[in-house]
Amino acid sequence: MNNQFGDNMISDKVIFKKDSGEKIEVKEKFVGLKIRKDKIMSINFRCPENDINPIKEFFGKFKGNSPFKLNIGETGDIPCYFKGISPVLKQTDEAGFQYYFVSVTAQELGTPKPKNLEDCECFRLSD
């Protein structure tokens, strides 16, 4: 499912890409993102077993400070460093649905700053 805002379509996928080109796409409904101090973020995955295994395999190969890109809804890449992964937890919700949970910690590298303010699309001179 895609969400439409004007003429732009936002995908319902969150894409994680390594510099090698390897990538994984996860349905947005299975991903939660919490941003903390110093651009540290927790990327939380809560999904059925068949969806958690590729996530565990993808991030399980990372070493500390490995670079990757995060792309939410195909809105653009956010460069990050991998910081760690939690153990996978098997849980059951109130309705009796069994799901798996894993959390990845990452640090956003930040947005490149324009060399000149005039190069920035958001920069406008006031009259």
Q: What is the average pLDDT value for the chain, to the nearest integer?
A: 83
Per-residue pLDDT at 110? 66
Residue 123 counted as domain residue: no
Containing 79, the helix (H) or strand (E) segment is strand 77-85
Query: Residue 88: what pLDDT?
Result: 95
Residue 29 domain flag: yes
Find the CATH number of the domain harbouring 86. 2.40.10
> What are the residue ranges in the chain where pLDDT is below 70?
1-8, 110-127
Looking at the whole model, is its pTM more than 0.75? yes
Which DSSP letter does residue 75 get?
A: S
Domain holding 105, by residue range, is 12-112
For residue 47, is it within any domain? yes
Please state the domain count of the chain. Answer: 1
In a domain, 6, yes or no: no
What is the three-state SS of 27-55? EHHHEEEEECHHHEEEEEEEECHHHHHHH
Looking at the domain assignment, is residue 118 inside a domain? no
Whether residue 77 lies inside any domain: the answer is: yes
Residue 50's region, left for phi above 0, alpha for psi from -120 to 50, else beta, is alpha
**pLDDT for residue 114:** 44
